[in-house]
Amino acid sequence: MPGFLFPGRPGGEHDEPLLDMIIARRAIPPDAPQPMHDLARMLAALAGPAEPGELAGEAAVRAAFCRAASPASISAAARRPGRRRRITRSRRPARSRARLATALVVAVAGLGSVFAAYIDVLPSPIQQLAHVTVAAPPPPSSGLPRTDTTRTRPATRATDRPGQAGRGSHHSTGPAQVPGQVTPTPNYTPYPTRSPGRPTAEPSCGPSPGHSPSPRPKPSGYPSPPPWYQAAQCAGIPTGPAGQRTLNPSGPLSRTPDD
């Protein structure tokens, strides 16, 4: 607060404008006190030109400036980001190559698994999974009947060969059957076609203990199989999806009741 009288500070109310003028290096009035004039001369000498020796460090500082401003330093500074760019460029394809390799491995593994599932060489649980997911053939020991694709290989399996079908081997695709009980086949249609030329029901292949002697009535939608069909079934000749067999632990291969 200029002009405010501070008690207990003699002369303080008068010298503040003068002190501000001295600090601003302005000329003070001639009628100012002598100590103010002396102080102004002191500070003018303090802010005066350079004295000998004060610029002694100029050569070293100029040398440092020339080093910093030289083309070599500029090119060195310019090389640094370039080096970073090169590093970035070389890292980016490495990542891309890694991703591409991973994708290729996954694709090959997936295709190979699908192929293996379709040629039926996978373990049963995996084959079952493949059957559910990618419609591959069901595993041999599962309770699901084979589709037409599995029947396109006649006489390649022991059970498919004539004369071996009645052994009840593990190649039987039908589940253990309780007499008079329908085999549960969820999510599966055992008779995918109803064309008149293909049989959709099959009789029992000979008498078996525990099997119902009286055949159950056929559904009205399924016609009776032709006479040659029963003979072919008993001989072990593949007859398509209608020739579904079940594993009968107490006897030879038996047919699932068609319902």
Partner 1 sequence: MIGAAFSVTLTSAQRGDETAFACLFRDVQPALLRYLHVITPEAEDVAGETWLQVVKGLPGFRGGEEAFRAWLFTIARHRAVDAARSRSRRSDVPLAVTDEVTGQPMAPDAAELALEAISTRSVVALIKTLPRDHAEIIMLRVVAGLEAADVARIVGKTPGAVRVTAHRALRRLAELAERAGVTH
- Which residues are at the interface with partner 1 (CB under 8 A)? 12, 15-16, 19, 22-23, 25, 35-36, 38-39, 41-43, 45-51, 54-58, 60-62, 64-66, 68-69
Smallest distance, Å, CB 81 to partner 1? 15
Amino acid identity of residue 237, one-letter, is: I
Those residues with Cβ within 8 angstroms of residue 203's Cβ, 6 or more apart along the chain or in another chain: 215, 225, 230, 233, 255
**Token pair in block for residue 130:** 């493949």
Q: Provide, rounded to whole angstroms, the least separation between the CB of residue 7 and partner 1.
A: 16
- 254 beta partners: 246
Query: Between residues 78 and 108, which has the closer beta carbon with respect to partner 1?
Result: 78
- Pairwise CA distance, residues 112 & 107, whole Å: 8
Q: How far is the CB of 26 from partner 1 (least distance, A)?
A: 12
CB closer to partner 1, 16 vs 160: 16
Give the amino acid at 176.
A
Torsion of CA 139, 143, 148, 149, to 10 degrees: -10
In terms of C-beta density within 10 A (0-12 exposed, 13-18 middle, 19 or more buried), how is residue 189 classed? exposed
Nearer to partner 1 (CB atom), residue 62 or residue 84: 62
Report the SS3 class of residue 234.
helix
Nearest to partner 1 of 18, 205 (CB atom): 18
Residue closer to partner 1 by CB (options 27, 56) is 56
State in angstroms the smallest separation of the CB of 61 from partner 1: 4
Angle between helices 71-118 and 124-134 (to 10 degrees): 100
Check residue 27 and report its DSSP letter.
P
CB of 85 to partner 1, least distance (A): 21
Taking the least distance from each CB to partner 1, the nearer of 68 and 101 is: 68
Closest among 77, 84, 248 to 165, alpha carbons compared = 248
In angstroms, give the least distance from the CB of 58 to partner 1: 6
